[in-house]
Amino acid sequence: MFSSIDSRPPTYRTFTSEFLTILTVTFAQTMNQASTTNILPMMNSLSDSFPDVTEIDKSWFMASLPLTSGAFILISGKFGDLYGLKKVMISGILWSAVWSLHYRHTLITWFSSVSLDLSKGSV
């Protein structure tokens, strides 16, 4: 019933596949935590812009992304039960990559148009 500590799970045939799985899951958790911590500078900037922001508003603002992330974890867990964890994980990574590329392209296009306007002197 119990396997020894040295045996490899049957899902991972090689060390490379096991290492890549651990790396992928760790990277996904790191990206989730990074997006949560990126809210803090934005919150400070917004609280400087709006003088009537209370400490309670700030705490709700800081809790908004982890709350949303937790809700999506519940939903993706159900999808993982229905369709398979590997398919859901790969779909989530692809979804994140597509939208990251979209936002990057939008940002580059915006900077390109601004720099073009500046270089033409038509601001």
Residues of the domain holding 118: 84-123
Nearest-angstrom CA–CA distance, 65 and 72:
11
Within-domain flag for 99: yes
Within-domain flag for 90: yes
Within-domain flag for 4: no
* Contact (CB, 8 A) for 108 and 102: no
Expressed in angstroms, the distance from the first to the final Cα of the chain is 72
Total structural domains within the chain? 1
**Cβ neighbours of residue 96 closer than 8 Å, sequence gap 6 or more:** 31
Please give the pLDDT value at position 117. 57
pLDDT tens for the chain, 123 residues long, are 565 666 777 788 888 988 998 998 898 888 878 877 877 888 888 888 888 888 888 888 888 888 888 888 899 899 999 999 889 988 988 888 888 787 777 666 666 665 555 555 554
